[in-house]
Every structure is written in structure tokens, then in C-alpha cells.
Amino acid sequence: MSFASFLISKAQYLLLIFIVNLVCLAIATQPLWAASFAVRVFDGDNITLVERGIKTKVHLACIDAPELLQSGGEQARKILQNFLNDEEVYVRVFKKDKFGRYTGEVLAGGQVANKVMLSLGLAHYDRLQERDCQGYEEIEAKAQAEHLGIWANGTEVMLPSQFRKENKLLGVGY
């Protein structure tokens, strides 16, 4: 093998590795998972997908729904359950959180469940995830202006994070 053909081979090899890395990065940053109709709803922003016996915990990104013991918590869970019932569910994964759950947007029936929950006033916009949450702040503001869900009596509503802190509910719980 001549030196020139060795360089071309090495350059082609490096190019191939570069392309493979780009593809892997694109897939790893926001994969889209599909699930069957088996979805268990824990609360207004946490679900478990069951696909062929494998359970995957998913937290709805960009929102923080009231805790089950908090005012509006049970309603949020029921609405999310009804929204996801009998629908094929897809998840656009953003990351894995400190509890081992996948965090992302949950799509069902052609809509993003995260945005639906926010638009109905059944969740707060979680500002800690701004990078992936374009448009969420505006959806929350509209629900507040229309006094929907948790905003029915105004905007002085306890954040779920404050409720968890005051009630020592720091674990995942499901």
C-alpha cells in the first residue's frame, strides 16, 4: 500500500467515524419512542409506559403538575389518563433525570400532552428546563388569563415544588 492510498483510507475512515458519531448524536439527543396502548398514569406529569413487559418511567418535561395530595392533583391525573387512554403514545426524550426517569414531550392523538396539561391550567410551566420548552411560558400565561384549572382563583397558587418541600415529598414515589 502506498503512502497516498494510506492517507486516503485514513481520511475516509475518519470521515466515516465522524458521520457515525453525528448520526448517533442526533439519535441520542431526542429519540422518539413509541409505546402500545399500555400507559400507567401516576400523576399529572409522570407516567409509566409498558411495552412488551418492559416498564419505562417518563416525566413530562417543561411542566410541574400539582401533587396528588395538593389541590388539583387528582384532577390533573384523571385528565392526563383520559387524554392518553386508547392512544398510541410517543415520547420525544430530552434527557434522563436524577431519578432515572426519561424526561420529554409525550405525544398522543396528534397533540403534545405536556402542552395540553398546561393549556388546561392543570400544571405550572417548569422554568428549569427552558432550553427545550419553547412556547410553554405563553401557554401558561393564557391559562392564567382565562382562569383555567389551578388558576381559577388567581395566580397566587402554591408551586408543586414548594408543596413537596413543605410536605417532605422529595422522592419519586412511583
pLDDT tens digits, one per residue of 84-106: 998 889 999 999 988 899 999 99
Q: Which residues pair with 34 in a beta bridge?
A: 90
Confidence of residue 25 (pLDDT cuts 50, 70, 90): very low
Tracing cell 413487559 back to the chain, one arrives at: 53
Q: Read off the pLDDT of residues 54-79 as tens digits, 9 standing for 90 and up.
A: 889 999 999 999 999 999 999 999 99
Q: How far apart are CA 95 and CA 61, in angstroms?
A: 9
**Position 11 pLDDT exceeds 80:** no
Show the domain range for 111. 32-166
Domain count of the fold of the chain? 1
Side chain identity at residue 29, one-letter code: T
- On whether residue 1 sits in a domain, the answer given is no
Q: What pLDDT is attached to residue 3?
A: 47
**CB burial of residue 75 (10 Å; 0-12, 13-18, 19+):** middle
Look at residue 47 in the predicted model and tell me its pLDDT: 95
Read off the C-alpha cell for 25. Answer: 448524536
Higher pLDDT, 89 or 168: 89
Is the pLDDT at 19 greater than 80, yes or no?
no
Q: How far apart are CA 82 and CA 99, in angstroms?
A: 26
pLDDT score, position 171 = 57
Q: Does the residue 146 lie in any domain?
A: yes
Q: Domain containing 116 — which CATH number? A: 2.40.50.90
**Residue 158 CB coordination number (10 Å):** 14
